[in-house]
Structure 1
Amino acid sequence: MNLRRLIAIAYKETLQIWRDPRSLAIALLMPLMQMGLLGYGVSLDIKRVPLCVYDQERSQLSREVVDSFTASHWFQPVAVLYSDRDLRAAMDRGSCIAALVIPVDFSRTLFTTGQAEVQTVFDATDTNTTNVATGYAQGITAQLNADINARWQAAHGDKAQTIGTVDLSPRVWFNEGLDSRNFIVPGVVAVILALVGSQLTSLTVSREWERGTMEQLISTPVTALELMFGKLAPYFALGLLDAAFCLGATAFWFHVPFRGSLFTLIVTTALFALVVLGIGYLLSVRIHSQLGASQIALMLTMLPTTMLSGYTFPLDQMPEPVRVISWIVPARYYVTILRAVFLKGSSLWEMAVPVIALLVYAAIIIRAAARAFRKSLD
């Protein structure tokens, strides 16, 4: 690879961007518009919330409490936990969104003092699910209290005086204020990068075909690899600039708490930018029409990012075939990383699966894009 030729191609593409008002509008104005328009989400009814159970007492009464939760269609039991460490690990992995914790002296406290607490822990990175699930838990607890009092009255012929009630003590992690903005806004960054990056690079090579400059480009000694990196370099810089603006607005304008590492955020953002830029460039090489390339880029990036990344709709509430399809959407992993870095403060090691997925996507797409270009007019 010749660095001089690569820089020349990058300089040529930079001039082309500067002279093209449409490209400038996409790169500079669209992020600003989308940060304002896509900062609000849609609330949906929640069912089958993944529930982990940590029953420290394991008595008949505690099993009734567990059964009252698991028998409803609002919660779906996914794991039985045996320690506080298991609870922390399950919530960090995302194995469960809610956890039911019954203390070791639950029955004794209830019968001696007339009151006892059952704790629910929620992963509040998804505030919509947490708010709705908290309401479900309160409703289940109210019904449980009514059942206990009814049994007491039937056994003693009077209203329950000493049995009291079961109090629910909910706790939320990662998004303590249950602010839906903290859940929604980080995902907007993925939507903006996917749209801006793929739209801009989908015009790079197809523009050469439409303007009749491809023959001149082919006649130069530039290689396919030099052409790809030279054309992508200015858009990569623009993508990082847009990402910096959006991430800065997320933290300082929308006041989403940032608890993770800036290095982790930069590395994963660069990986996702490479993926979407590579997709746009690959389409630009294969499709000789700017309109056709941009439309297909929109279909392959914007729609999956909006619908199948978890940005708009909770993935665990979707039908199984749709959830399977979502695993091939790169934005799914980046949205997961953004929320984990901002709200949970997760490190690269703790997000190994989505980071590795982005690395694999970047390697495959960049290689395919480099091999797609041929110095031929066919």
Structure 2
Amino acid sequence: MNRQRLRGLVRKEFLQIIRDPSAIAIAFVLPVLLLLLFGYGVSLNARGVPLAVVVDQPSAQTSSFVGGLEQSAYFAPTTYPDIAAARHALMTRQVDGIVWLRGDFTRLALTGRSAPVAVWMNGVDANNARIMEGYLQGVWQNWLQLEAERQGKPLLLPVSVQARIWFNPAVRSRDFLVPGLIAVIMTLIGALLTALVIARERERGTMEALMASPVTMAEILLGKLIPYFVLGMGGMALSVAMAVWLFAVPLVGSLWLLVLCSALFLLVALAMGLLISTLANSQFVAALVAVIVTFLPAFILSGFIFDIDSMPTVVQFLTHLVAARYYVAILQTVFLAGNVWPVILGNSAALMVMWAIFMGIAWRKSHKRLD
């Protein structure tokens, strides 16, 4: 391998990147847009949920319970005169749930028996309905505790649950989504941009000049990979900076470990893109294949949003073929839990195996001829 020829190829590719605004946009503008969209616009937490409240017989107890709903950040309760009006509001999507305090609520609450509270939920969004149910259970438990203290009696419950949340005590979905989004961004930068490099040379007719030159195939491949590796690491640095300083996502683990694992995943993404570019004959086909084969699996099957353990068994098996799955696990661990070495080493080993496979296939498919 001739270093002078390699430097010339790297310089040529950097000039191509500078002259092509789309590459700069994908590497630096697209990460900013995706992070702003998911950081501010997407939330898995239910807050300010419109709730209909019907009270048959107002009393001090019903007022304190409704006050608990009003003080909760998760609900925006609205009082309705009767259950018929609340049902109409639920049917017309004005509210997402109904809390009905019936006429004997106060009597049963004062006698120590379970008070009848009817709760109806809009189950169109099943996940949101389950979250709302959990929040209402919390409001109910808080109200029981306050009533017991007001009466000077201990709260007698068959089971006392003390929840302790690790790694994300604030229970912010942003802290979960933003690290996983970095994997999607790195997949886009690494696979999509690299998938176009060889196909672009074929379309523009410059591949013949490269094949006629004394450069080797190894120099051509390295000359294509090195600039996009630098570009990808720059996009990663921008994404991590926005995650930590703009969205206040805690980085508990080592920054250098995060950089090392990110470089490893970027090599896998570059190898996948290079393989696609080697097999595709046009930039359009290469871009389409890169989106279908790399971006969509990274978005859906990596655990970035959807829990892998909740997927069918066959789909869980398929997720092992998605490189982003291992990188998402590393990102969420390093950001929220720290340097948990069993998780980091196991997923890093899987990424190294995938890099060797993709790079080996790309190398075998790359020949210094035009056929």
TM-score, normalised with respect to structure 1: 0.68
1:101-150 CA deviation, whole Å, 9 max, x = no partner? xxxxxxxxxxxxxxxxxxxxxxxxxxx99x959939969x98xx9xxxxx
1:339-377 CA deviation, whole Å, 9 max, x = no partner? 000000024454221110011111221222222211111
Contact 1:348 1:355 in 2 (8 A): no
For 2:318 and 2:31, the matched residues in 1 are separated by: 27
Instruction: State which of 326, 330, 334 in structure 1 corresponds to 2:323.
Output: 330
Query: 1:164 corresponds to which letter in structure 2?
Result: L
Does the C-alpha gap of structure 1 residues 43 and 252 become closer, same or farther in structure 2, counting only changes over 3 Å?
closer
Q: Which residue of 1 aligns with 2:35?
A: 35
Query: % of aligned pairs identical?
Result: 42
Q: Which residue of 1 aligns with 2:213?
A: 220
For 2:244 and 2:217, the matched residues in 1 are separated by: 39
Q: Which residue of 1 aligns with 2:21?
A: 21
Counterpart secondary structure, 2:170: coil
Contact 2:179 2:331 in 1 (8 A): yes
- Where do 1:73-88 residues align within 5 Å? none
For 1:371 and 1:284, the matched residues in 2 are separated by: 13
Matching of residue 203 in structure 1 with residue 201 in structure 2: no
- Where do 1:1-378 residues align within 5 Å? 1-39=1-39, 41=42, 43=44, 132=131, 135=134, 164-165=156-157, 166-378=159-371
- Which structure is larger by alpha-carbon Rg, 1 or 2? 2
Query: 1:302 corresponds to which letter in structure 2?
Result: F
1:164-192 CA deviation, whole Å, 9 max, x = no partner? 32321111111111111111110110011
Contact 1:186 1:335 in 2 (8 A): yes
Contact 1:5 1:226 in 2 (8 A): yes
Counterpart secondary structure, 1:27: helix
1:61-80 CA deviation, whole Å, 9 max, x = no partner? xxxxxxxxxxxxxxxxxxxx
**Cα offset for 1:318?**
1.1
Does the C-alpha gap of structure 1 residues 31 and 162 become closer, same or farther in structure 2, counting only changes over 3 Å?
closer
Does the C-alpha gap of structure 1 residues 134 and 185 become closer, same or farther in structure 2, counting only changes over 3 Å?
farther
For 2:251 and 2:271, the matched residues in 1 are separated by: 29
Contact 1:138 1:168 in 2 (8 A): no
Counterpart secondary structure, 2:368: coil
TM-score, normalised with respect to structure 2: 0.69
For 1:229 and 1:133, the matched residues in 2 are separated by: 53
Contact 1:224 1:371 in 2 (8 A): no
Which sections of structure 2, spanning at least 5 residues, go unmatched? Answer: 47-126, 145-152
Counterpart secondary structure, 1:275: helix
For 1:182 and 1:290, the matched residues in 2 are separated by: 36
For 1:377 and 1:323, the matched residues in 2 are separated by: 40
Q: Which residue of 1 aligns with 2:101?
A: none
For 1:134 and 1:182, the matched residues in 2 are separated by: 23
**Cα offset for 1:319?**
1.2
For 2:189 and 2:132, the matched residues in 1 are separated by: 36
Which sections of structure 1, spanning at least 5 residues, go unmatched? Answer: 46-127, 146-160
For 1:335 and 1:322, the matched residues in 2 are separated by: 17
Q: Which residue of 2 aligns with 1:107?
A: none
**Cα offset for 1:42?**
6.2
Contact 1:42 1:312 in 2 (8 A): no
Q: How many residues align?
A: 277
Query: 2:191 corresponds to which letter in structure 1?
Result: S
Counterpart secondary structure, 1:12: helix
RMSD (CA atoms): 2.7
